[in-house]
Amino acid sequence: MTILDKIVEHKKKEVADSKQQRSIAQLEASAHFGRTPYSFREFLLAPDRTGIIAEFKRRSPSKGIINADVLVEDVTQAYAAAGASALSVLTDENFFGGNKQDVIAARTVNNIPILRKDFMIDEYQVIEAKSIGADIILLIAAILTPAEIKQLAALAKSLGLNVLLEVHNLEELERSIDDNLDAIGVNNRNLADFTVSVENSFKLAAHIPDSFMKISESAISDTEIIKDLKQAGYNGFLIGETFMKQPDPGLAMKAFVKGL
């Protein structure tokens, strides 16, 4: 069983528990549910922003604890001030140490798009994402069928949410393309064995239709990589560990963007 299989198995139980705790009607009655989500495209392509989607990530299956000493409000506000185009906030508790309250907290103090970073397998989670104030959801091709991607993306769009599809190889990309996606993210991390290679983004760039925003995800550790990725057509750069492993992740991002 791969780590991804374990995450999905656990997620099924978690979603079943959440459904018991809060009905869809309760989610729809939440304060954030009625807000209009920010346009991911508008923020990502804004010339005065960096294209960086800065991630709040306490721990991960590949690295263990990354940073357990910082507050989500402080870090996400500092990311936004340093020029982040969007924020990514992990809501998976069991494997990443995140939670839904982190998105609610980040939403309260920020005015840029927030990606609810989780393993989406059920329509309930899409509605929940809207109810906690997220603007973007992530669909991971490796854990969803094309029909599931279509269904979850259509629901997200009907709620005004933006959709980021994550792929790791050409086969996932070709089988998962759907009109309701806004952006395609190429993960440089192989989720089966945790090896990383930014080459993966360069390899797949030309295969992503221009109608989608192109995002490179994971293992981005210096600004020269970003310059090369931009040349290859990428608009967005999802960065977690490079910032989060520093005692002050916001300050780390501020220093990093000076090199862009």
Ligand X SMILES: O=C(O)c1ccccc1NCC(=O)[C@H](O)[C@H](O)COP(=O)(O)O
Query: Residue 154 corresponds to which amino acid?
Result: A
Instruction: Mark whether 187 is an active-site residue.
Output: yes
CA gap 193, 110 in Å, rounded = 35
Residue with smaller CB distance to ligand X, 189 or 207: 189
CA gap 84, 198 in Å, rounded = 20
Instruction: Mark whether 258 is an active-site residue.
Output: no
Site for ligand X contains 55 (CB under 6 A): yes
Closest CA to 147 of 184, 178, 170, 169: 178
Residues 6+ apart with CB under 8 A from 37: 113, 130, 134, 135, 136, 159, 160, 161, 162
Residues 14, 128, 172, 217: which is the catalytic one? 217
Site for ligand X contains 97 (CB under 6 A): no
Instruction: Mark whether 57 is an active-site residue.
Output: yes
Task: Report the nearest approach of ligand X to the CB of residue 237 (Å).
Answer: 9
Site for ligand X contains 11 (CB under 6 A): no
Instruction: Mark whether 217 is an active-site residue.
Output: yes
Residues 100, 117, 130, 214: which is the catalytic one? 117
Helices (H), the chain: 3-21, 24-28, 40-44, 72-81, 100-109, 123-131, 146-158, 170-176, 199-204, 223-231, 241-244, 249-257
Residues 57, 100, 130, 214: which is the catalytic one? 57
Site for ligand X contains 241 (CB under 6 A): yes
Instruction: Mark whether 241 is an active-site residue.
Output: no
Site for ligand X contains 219 (CB under 6 A): yes
- Touching ligand X, residues 65-94 (CB under 6 A): none
Token pair belonging to 200 = 């993966």
Instruction: Mark whether 245 is an active-site residue.
Output: no
**Helix, strand or coil, per DSSP, at residue 60:** strand
Residue with smaller CB distance to ligand X, 127 or 191: 191
Residue with smaller CB distance to ligand X, 60 or 91: 60
Task: Report the nearest approach of ligand X to the CB of residue 245 (Å).
Answer: 9
Q: Which residues are catalytic?
A: 55, 57, 117, 166, 187, 217-218
